[in-house]
Structure 1
Amino acid sequence: MFDFDQYLGFLAFLGIFTLGFWLMLFLITFVIPYWIGGSLIERLNEIKEEKKAKREAATH
C-alpha cells in the first residue's frame, strides 16, 4: 500500500491534473472561440471602415 508521503504526492498529482484538465476545457470551449470571434468581427469592421473611407475620398 501507499506510505503517507506517496499518498500526498498522488493527491497532489490528481489535483494538478484535474485543475489542468478543467483549465484546458474552459480555454478550448470559451476563451479561444471568444478571442477568434472578436478578432474576426474587429477585422471586418476595419475593412468596412476602409471601404467607407475610400468611397468618401472618391466622392469628395
Structure 2
Amino acid sequence: MFEFDQYLGFLAFLTILTIGFWLMIFLLTFVIPYWLGGNLIEFFKEKRDARKAKLNNEE
C-alpha cells in the first residue's frame, strides 16, 4: 500500500490536475470569448472610423 508521503504526493498531484482542469474550463468559457469579442468590436470601430475619414476627405 502507500506510504504517507506517497499519499501526500498523490493528493498534491490530484489537486494540481483539478486546478488545471477548472482553469482551462474557465479560460475557454469566459476569458477567450471576452478577448475575441473585444477584438471584434475594436476591429469594427477602426473600419467605421476609416470609412468616415475617407468620406470626409472626399467632400
* TM-score higher than 0.5: yes
Q: Return 5+ residue gaps in structure 2 as ranges.
A: none
- What per-residue deviation string (whole Å, max 9, x for no partner) do you get for residues 10-58 of structure 1? 0000100010001000000000000011001100000000000000010
State the TM-score, normalizing by the size of structure 2. 0.97
What is the rounded CA distance, in whole Å, between the counterparts of 1:58 and 1:3 in structure 2? 80
State the TM-score, normalizing by the size of structure 1. 0.95
What is the rounded CA distance, in whole Å, between the counterparts of 1:31 and 1:45 in structure 2? 21
Whichever residue aligns with residue 54 of structure 1, its letter is K
* Structure 2 counterparts to residues 25-36 of structure 1, below 5 A: 25-36=25-36
Identity of aligned residues (%): 64
Q: Return 5+ residue gaps in structure 1 as ranges.
A: none
**Residue 46 of structure 2: aligned partner:** 46
* Structure 2 counterparts to residues 1-60 of structure 1, below 5 A: 1-59=1-59
Count residues in correspondence: 59
